[in-house]
Each structure stands twice: as structure tokens, then as C-alpha cells.
Amino acid sequence: MSNVCEICGKGRIVGGSITRRGLAKKKGGIGMHVVKNNKRVFHANIQTVKVKSGGTVARKKVCTACIRSEKVQKA
């Protein structure tokens, strides 16, 4: 199974890692210039947790945001 939260559906998000060159204006330079924009992946913090659901205990993959907000009840 993929690395996706079973409660809210949070998974991976594609973004960019920006590489800059130059000296900042406030340090006396002409400013920072974008040289490269590399693709990268931001992964959700998924934990495998024992969860109470309907009187039974089951293992689920849940993101830490759902654990902190008490959307699931840990067993």
C-alpha cells in the first residue's frame, strides 16, 4: 500500500528546490538571482498506528497531523 494517510488522504507533494547565486542587496550586492529550480518531493509524515475503530483494534497508516488533532483514537 502507498504512503498515504488513511484518514485525511495526505500524501506526497511535488515542489521545487530553488538554487540562488549572488550577494544580497542589503549586503551591498546586486541581488540574489535564481540559477536552477530542481524538482523534489515533499513526503508526508506517515506513522503506522494501532487504532480503535468500532470496538476492534486495527493498524492504520496515519499522518502526524491527524494523530495530534485526535481524529483517531490510539489503542
pTM for the model stands at 0.73
Give residue 54's pLDDT: 85
Sign of CA dihedral 48, 2, 71, 42: positive
Which residues span the domain enclosing 64?
13-68
Give residue 53's pLDDT: 86
What is the rounded distance in angstroms from the CA atom of residue 57 to the CA atom of residue 72?
Answer: 12
In a domain, 2, yes or no: no
What is the rounded distance in angstroms from the CA atom of residue 67 to the CA atom of residue 17?
Answer: 29
In a domain, 6, yes or no: no
Q: Domains in the chain: how many in total?
A: 1
> What is the per-residue pLDDT across 2-58, written as a single tens digit (0 to 9) for each?
899 999 999 999 999 999 999 999 999 999 999 999 999 999 999 999 999 888 999
1: pLDDT strictly greater than 80: no
